Every structure is written in structure tokens, then in C-alpha cells.
Structure 1
Amino acid sequence: MANPFPIPLNALRAIEIVARRGALAPAAEELGVTIGAVSQHLRRAEERLGMELFERTPNGLRPLPALKAVLPQLTAGFSALQDGLTGLRGSDEAVLNLTVGSVFASRWLIWRINKFTTLNRDIEVRLNVTAAMLDLSRPDVDCGIRYGHGKWPGIHAELVGGSAYQPVCAPVVAARLKRPEDLAQVPVIQDETTMLSWDAWRAEVGLDPDIKLTGPIYSDASLAFDAAISEQGVLMAADMMSADAVSDGRLVRPFEHSVEGPLGYWLVTAQGRRESRKLRAFRTWLKAEVPASVRGYVYQSRG
């Protein structure tokens, strides 16, 4: 009888990770082997299959069309194996492992997560706050919140909110702003990490694109928010992230003119992963809590 798995499982896993991540190092780390061993896995697999699986480029390894076509099946297969192993060990529905970025964590989630755990007392939330896009197929990650376009390979993404944005600043700075042209007379905080478009907002309000906007530069989005609160200038921010500070008076929206962009915050999971009860509970809570927060609701214990 022919062997249904002519490629060892570890080699197949290495192929799936490299195809999804575009590099050998993530596969080496996850499999607990050297980069050289991963390279050998790929080479021997290609020899056994009699075909090349990857294009070697200066920017990494790119799956060739044949591998790219079956990658969703490979990813779903390994997710199913992981779920099966979890079932053998006993499902851990008591802990929700969530990865989020620093702004979402510090400006929105941290003030509300106690509401989720109060409603779901049997679920403990463990946060991994990082700017890195963690591999969502890892066994220690249940889901994440990512900001962007929602189109990531091997990822199931569901829009949470955050697509509307506009300038915000402290009240003392807002007193100097009567019309958009006045932005040239105050510092405009430059967030090097932002994906929000000043150009789109300027076009929406008819602000001359030749008017130069300058101010302090930050490479950390959370610090840029703090800079706006501490009266250092005007910041472009998602309405969802600024709602609490606006509600309690630390920030104001001087022009009350938001634009809808193509980006937003997404609840993300590995494609093909079984939906757990704890994930359903978190999704249900987000659908109720996000609209409330955009309307300016502030968690009462904040004081």
C-alpha cells in the first residue's frame, strides 16, 4: 500500500509555516530545530515530490502557485490536529489568550476588560501586548485584535470598528483652532506608526494640501496619544480610540468632522481553527461594547 504521507509530518509543518511567514526562522522557532534543519526539510520534500515549492527571493521564500493553492488546506489541517490534541488533553475554555497592539490595549481594552470577565466569570483573559503580528495558529494564541485592511493570508478577520477618524487635541490647544487652516499655527503631532491618512482628511474638509503641518515626532502610537493629552499638539486618531478621552474632557475634537477610512480594528483568528465557547463569548461582548464605546461611554470605575 502506498504511503499516504510521503513527506514527514515535521517537514510538512515546516513547509506550511515557511509558506505562510515567508522565512525559515519562524518555522525553526516553532519546531524547535535549527534553520539549517528547516532548510533540509524543504529540500528533501521538494526532492520527494519532484517539484519546487518555493521561489527563493532576496526578500524571503515565496510559495509557488501549486503550494499557494493548497496552503489554506494545510493550515486548516494543522489547526484541526491542534484542536484534536486539545480535545485529548481536555479543552481549556477557562483561559482566553488574546494578542493586541499597545494603543488598543491602553486606550480601549484595559478600561473595559473587567466588564467582560464580570459577564464571563469562568474565563480568564491573558493579554499579549505587542506590535508584532504573532502567528495565530500557535497553541498559546486564541485570537487577536489587529488594525489594518483585514486581508491577511491564512487569517479569518471580522471587523470590530475603528474606521472613522479625525483630529483630536487638548482643550487648551483647541481654543486656537476655529477652522482647519488654523492647524498651520499649532503643533501637529507626527505619529510615525500611524496608518491614518491626514491627506484624506484634508481633502474631505477642503484644507489646502500645500499648507505645511509640523510638530513633534513619535515612533510609538501610545506616546503620541499621551502627547496630545498633555497639550503638545493635534493628533489624528480613530474615534473609537479617542472616545474615552473626549468623553472625560482630556481631549476634544476641534472640527467635529470624521472621515471613514478603509482600515479598522479586526478580531482575527487562524483560518480553519475551531470556534471555542470562550471565543464566541468574546466576539459577542465586542459586538455590544464597541458601539457603546464609540458613543463615548466611559467605564465607571475609571473615576
Structure 2
Amino acid sequence: MKLFGGRVLEKRSLPPLTALRAFEAFARRGRMTLAADELCVTHGAVSRQIRSLEEAVGLDLTEGPRHRLKLTEAGERLAAALSGAFDQVERTLTDIKSAAHEELHLSCVGTLAIRWLIPRLPAFHARHPGVRVKVTESYAPVDFARERFDAAIRVNETAPIAGAHATAFLENFTGPVTAPHLVGGGPTGLEGLTRLTTGTRQTAWIEWENHSGITLPRAPEVQEFEHVFYVLEAAAAGMGVGLSPWIYVAGDIAAGRLAAPLGFAATPSRFWFLTPSGEVRPAVAAFRDWLVEEAAKAPKPPGRV
């Protein structure tokens, strides 16, 4: 026994934490494989930890066929208690970290984060050393009620969600880009090049033609990639011509890594900074103001060569 604050403390009689974590993850996710992915261990490791927990407590916590296990009544009760306890620990740790170093959790479209935002974050941290910006990639519709983000950045023609504070901080110009050595001598300089696209923006090229008033010749081949970032790397590698917002490729064009023979056309869309409705935290307001300031420094896109 030990004394703490004048109280006698008995030694806790609890199973190993590793086994409790494995069981709680399985109960919450519903499958061994999903629990294993979350904990970065193998399916077998999760299974062994759950078996060891059942042996330690002397109760069956799961039942059913090996590949369709479900919780027993005892398992349901333990899972509910563990999830509540772990949630409380997580909230407490978040509060402790926030007290020591305020965190701003930002949901952001990935290519903007990689190509424009993150290279500029050191300047924000130098100005606001007490604020740590955590960036999470997402292209999904913003839902502040379901996801615990302090702010989000999306690209859209109008404010992406109703009832939120929305600031349009950056115009969106788009244009075709390719490796400089692939630019030809035809009317557009892009004749005969493979058209690089993303699966999520099948209409992007048609939209660009409408905005720019330029009709490209039929592409001999179309190659699809998952993300705009992959399209830009493929274009720089000489695989064809991709379509990109100007802000993503300004540095590459200045460095001669990419060429844009047709320039960049203005689009109706804008990059928006979004925060939940209600009072905006000082750290979030500071980040928004800095973002607007940085966007104002962005160079203007070039016209047609």
C-alpha cells in the first residue's frame, strides 16, 4: 500500500493495457483487421491479445465463428466502459497539450497544402510561436458538427457550407502544364500529347475550355491519376499535359520545371477559409488574417506565350 494525499492507495488489479486497447479497438471497429490496422499490428496479434484478456478476467468476451466474432454481454459492458475511459484520456491529453501549446487543426485540400500552404507555415509559426498548425488532407464536404476541425480550406464557386464563417482568400486560375521540352510548334503547343486527368475531376478539361475560350485538339491518349499532385509530377516527368490551378505550379514554372504555353484562365471558383459559426478563436482569426496576407503576395498568372 502507498499513501497519496493522506489516502491509502491499494494496488490496482487490471489486465495489461495492451490487451485492453486491442479489445476496445476490435469492439469499436467491429473487425480484427480494422483493429489491427488502427494499432499498427497484425491480425493475429489482436486475436492473441483478446484471448489473453479473456483468460485474465476469466470471462468470454467474444463468441461466434472465428471470422464473424461478436461481443458477448460481458464484452459489450467492458467495451462501453473502456471506450468511455479512453475517450476521457484522449480529451484530457488534448486539453493538456492545448494548455501548453495551442493547436489549430486545419482540414485542407491536399495539393494546396503540399504545394502552397506548408512551405509558408514557418512564416506563420515565426509570427505566432504559441500556435501549432496541424494539417489534415481532405477533399470531402466540410462538416464541423461531425469532425473536430478548427477550420477548413476548400475550393468552390460559392461558400461550400451554409452557416459557417467563410473568407474567399485566393482566386483560382487554371491552365495546361507540361514539361518544357514537350511544348511543340503547333497552334497550341500541346498537339499530340497524352492528356493527364484525375478521376475526381472528369469534366475539368471541358470546364477549362469553356473558361479560356480555347479548344484543344483531340488527345491521342488519356491517362488518369488519383490526385492532382500525381498529375503534376507526371507532367513534369514528360508523360503528357495536365491541368492545374496556377497557385499549385507557380514555383515549378518559375524554376523551369513546367511550362504553361496557353497561360491560365480565370474560373468562378475560389479558395475558401471556413470556420464554424459562432465566436472565432484568436488563434484561428490570426491564421485567417495571415492566410489572406500571404495570398495577396501570390504572383499573377502568366498569359498565353
TM-score, length of structure 2 as denominator length? 0.60
Q: Give SS of 1:121's match.
A: coil
Map of 2:243 onto structure 1: 236
Mark the runs of 5 or more structure 2 residues left unpaired by the alignment: 1-27, 29-94
Map of 1:79 onto structure 2: none
CA shift, 1:148, in A, is 1.6
Mark the runs of 5 or more structure 1 residues left unpaired by the alignment: 1-31, 33-88, 297-303
CA contact (8 A) 1:162 1:238 kept: no
Q: Give SS of 1:166's match.
A: strand
How many residues get paired? 207
Q: Give SS of 1:164's match.
A: strand
CA shift, 1:266, in A, is 0.7
Map of 1:255 onto structure 2: 262
Structure possessing the higher relative contact order (Cα contacts under 8 Å, 6 or more residues apart)? 1
Map of 2:190 onto structure 1: 183
CA shift, 1:169, in A, is 1.3
Map of 1:120 onto structure 2: 128
1:167 is matched with which residue: 162, 176, 180? 176
Task: Give the letter for the 2:291 counterpart.
Answer: L
Map of 2:279 onto structure 1: 274
Q: How does 1:185-200 map to 2 (within 5 A)?
A: 185-194=192-201, 197-200=204-207
Q: Give SS of 1:97's match.
A: strand
Instruction: List 4+ stretches of structure 1 deviating above 6 A.
Output: none
Q: CA 1:203 to 1:116, structure 2 compared with 1: closer, same or farther past 3 Å?
A: same
CA shift, 1:102, in A, is 1.4
Q: In 2, distance between residues paired with 1:112 and 1:194?
A: 27
CA shift, 1:132, in A, is 2.9
The reply on whether 1:292 has 2:305 as its aligned counterpart is: no
CA shift, 1:295, in A, is 4.5
Task: Give the letter for the 1:161 counterpart.
Answer: L
1:265 is matched with which residue: 268, 271, 278? 271
Task: Give the letter for the 1:154 counterpart.
Answer: G
CA contact (8 A) 2:168 2:270 kept: yes
Q: In 2, distance between residues paired with 1:279 and 1:222?
A: 27
1:216 is matched with which residue: 211, 215, 223? 223
Q: Give SS of 1:268's match.
A: strand
CA contact (8 A) 2:141 2:160 kept: no
Task: Give the letter for the 1:267 counterpart.
Answer: F
